Amino acid sequence: MESIQVMYADTPLAYQPGESLLEAATRANVAIPNSCRSGICQSCLVKVTDGEIPAKSQDGLSEAQKAQGYALACQLKPDSPILVQPADHQDQLNATVIEHSLFNNGVLKLVLASDELKWIAGQFISIWKTDQITRPYSIASLPEDHLIELHIQKHEHGIVSHWLHDEVKPGDTLKIGSARGECCYGDNMSEKSLLLVGTGTGLAPLIGIIKDALQRGHQQPIKLHIGARDANRLYLVNELRALQSTYTNFEFLPILKEADDLSASGPFEQADELSSYIKESYSSFQDWCVFLCGAPDLVRKLQRICFLNGASLTDIHADPFISN
Amino acid sequence: MASLYEKLGGAAAVDAAVDIFYRKVLADDRISEYFDGVDMTAQAAKQKSFLTMVFGGPNEYTGKDMRAAHAGMKGLNDTHVDAVIENLGATLAELGVGEADIAEVAAIANSVRDDVLNR
């Protein structure tokens, strides 16, 4: 019997038919993190970059993970040649800066073009300033837009955000990585209501997810809450209000700490704590799909609140934004 | 004889059980503090492995894994293990599992007690 060519992390493995990728790698002393070795714990997640993926190796993964070629090494028994990489593997791609402008609140709108990048709304990419310095940014646009829209907040000591804000200009070529993350809409969510909560540029992935859901014909309610100190900190307000008047099942309700400012140009709520507001305004999160993007503390708090009040763990999608 | 894992309905049933079990654990003052600040997604995957093991499902989760997972958790003692086993039993009761099966699961969970407590 002819042997099947199996590559993991650019290393050819002496693969024996019938065994798993994990077994072949372990025999070759190539480490793949693992725990249950039974397709349950998902510790041995890997990414197939070329070749056919046996369905069994994707059991239990999310729609977004399946679409991106993720598989479980302990269940992956290829019967044709296959190229596999560690789960966090990224290709380096080139992108050209198309637009570089500021939103009303000072957040940078950076629009890139790249023929090579494939993504799902809600995912993020890395941008490399140098070979050592890289930061992740979420994508606000849909693949159908053919352009990659990123929202970048300038952080006081942020080397990359300062560089992107002050030095990068239209026409420049940037190095970006493959799209990652699974804070994404899936067709299996069509019967559920969607709750999206975020702060700051957490709006970027959330707006991508909302547009994706609406475009795919999501009929159930979609609620977006963005928390901010005051109305001047919000951005894309008019675009969100316009979206709301087109789609009656979509509602945008900002939650402001200081509500004396009426420039939010539409309904908003006043609350000191975004997490308490969410907890008190929703009696149960059963049959809700929840998306949380923004400050890590808030994301963790809301994750717990939603879960303890009825949301299933598999229906909570969180993307904590760690600012450096 | 079919394992409880098969009787419950396999992997999908474990997903449902994790939701119920994890909620009980977080709501239990005796042990909830050990879960503060823990990444919920990663924790859920570990619990899934644990439940699959105690339900007699396909797994190679070992005492060594349990030992490693609980190493460095300060003040862990028998009361905490008892609380977990109690929550496990309540979860199964909620899923309609009979007493005999619950006892069997508790016995499996009990078998890793010394590993959890690093004895």
Write the ipTM. Answer: 0.82
Contact A233, A257 (CB under 8 A): no
Contact A253, A269 (CB under 8 A): yes
- Binning pLDDT at 50, 70 and 90, where does residue A181 land? confident
Hey, are the CB atoms on B23 and A307 less than 8 Å from each other? Answer: yes
Contact A137, A293 (CB under 8 A): no
Q: What pLDDT sits at residue A324? A: 43
Q: Which of A140-144, A160-164, A307-311, B70-74 has the lowest mean pLDDT?
A: B70-74
Query: What integer is the mean pLDDT of A70-87?
Result: 94
Query: What integer is the mean pLDDT of A275-294?
Result: 95
pLDDT: which is higher, B46 or A210: A210
Q: What pLDDT sits at residue B45? A: 81
Question: What is d(CA A306, CA A239) in angstroms, rounded to the nearest whole number?
Answer: 28
Q: Which of A36, A303, A316 sits opposite B61 (nearest CB)?
A: A36
Helices (H), A72-183: 159-166
The single-letter code of the amino acid at B42 is A
Six-digit token string for A198: 């975020």
Hey, are the CB atoms on B59 and A38 less than 8 Å from each other? Answer: yes
Query: What integer is the mean pLDDT of B72-95?
Result: 92
Query: What integer is the mean pLDDT of B32-44?
Result: 84
Angle between helices B40-54 and B10-27 (to 10 degrees): 120
Q: What pLDDT sits at residue A323? A: 60
Does A41 score more than 80 pLDDT? Answer: no
Q: Which of A35, A42, A313 sits opposite B19 (nearest CB)?
A: A313
Distance from CA of B39 to the nearest CA of A (A): 8
Hey, are the CB atoms on A313 and B22 less than 8 Å from each other? Answer: yes
Q: What pLDDT sits at residue B61? A: 72
Question: What is d(CA A76, CA A46) in angstroms, rounded to the nearest whole number?
Answer: 10
Residue whose structure tokens are 């209501």: A193
Does A310 score more than 60 pLDDT? Answer: yes
Residues A214-270 have pLDDT tens digits of 999 999 999 999 999 999 999 999 999 999 999 999 999 999 998 765 555 678 888
- The mean pLDDT of chain A is 92
Concatenate the DSSP letters of all residues of A30-99 into one string: -----SSSSSSS-TTEEEEEEEPPPGGGGTT--HHHHHTTEEETTT---SS-EEEEETT---EEEEEEEE
The single-letter code of the amino acid at A196 is L
Question: What is d(CA B52, CA B57) in angstroms, rounded to the nearest whole number?
Answer: 5
Six-digit token string for A300: 């963790």
Q: Which of A34-48, A62-76, A211-225, B80-94 has the lowest mean pLDDT?
A: A34-48
* Number of other CB atoms surrounding residue A261 within 10 Å: 13
Length of chain A: 324
Instruction: Name the DSSP letter for residue A5.
Output: P
Concatenate the DSSP letters of all residues of chain B into one string: ---HHHHHTHHHHHHHHHHHHHHHHHH-TTTGGGGTT--HHHHHHHHHHHHHHHTT-S----HHHHHHHHTT-TT--HHHHHHHHHHHHHHHHHTT--HHHHHHHHHHHHTTHHHHTT-
Taking the model in full, what pTM does it have? 0.86
Question: What is d(CA B47, CA B8) in angstroms, rounded to the nearest whole number?
Answer: 16
Question: What is d(CA A225, CA A117) in angstroms, rounded to the nearest whole number?
Answer: 30
Length of chain B: 119
Chain A: which residues have CB within 8 Å of chain B?
Answer: 35-43, 59-60, 300, 303-304, 307-308, 312-314, 316, 318
Hey, are the CB atoms on A35 and B61 less than 8 Å from each other? Answer: yes
Hey, are the CB atoms on B59 and A314 less than 8 Å from each other? Answer: no
pLDDT: which is higher, A2 or A41: A41
Helix (H, G, I), strand (E, B) or coil at A129: coil
Q: What pLDDT sits at residue A88? A: 85
Q: Which of A40, A314, A318 sits opposite B59 (nearest CB)?
A: A40
Helix (H, G, I), strand (E, B) or coil at A259: coil
- In this structure, the dihedral spanned by the alpha carbons of residues A166, A167, A168 and A171, taken in order and rounded to 10 degrees, is 120
For residue A196, the cross-strand partners are A224, A291
The single-letter code of the amino acid at A149 is E
Question: What is d(CA B23, CA B50) in angstroms, rounded to the nearest whole number?
Answer: 15
What lies within 8 Å, CB to CB, of A14 at 6+ separation is: A3, A24, A27, A28
Beta pairing, strands A124-128 & A134-138: antiparallel
Interface A–B counts its CB contacts (< 8 A) at 62
Hey, are the CB atoms on A313 and B11 less than 8 Å from each other? Answer: no
Q: Which of B19, B37, B58 sits opposite A312 (nearest CB)?
A: B19
Does A201 score more than 50 pLDDT? Answer: yes
Percent of chain A at pLDDT > 70 equals: 97
Distance from CA of A244 to the nearest CA of B (A): 32
- Binning pLDDT at 50, 70 and 90, where does residue A89 land? confident
* Number of other CB atoms surrounding residue A255 within 10 Å: 22
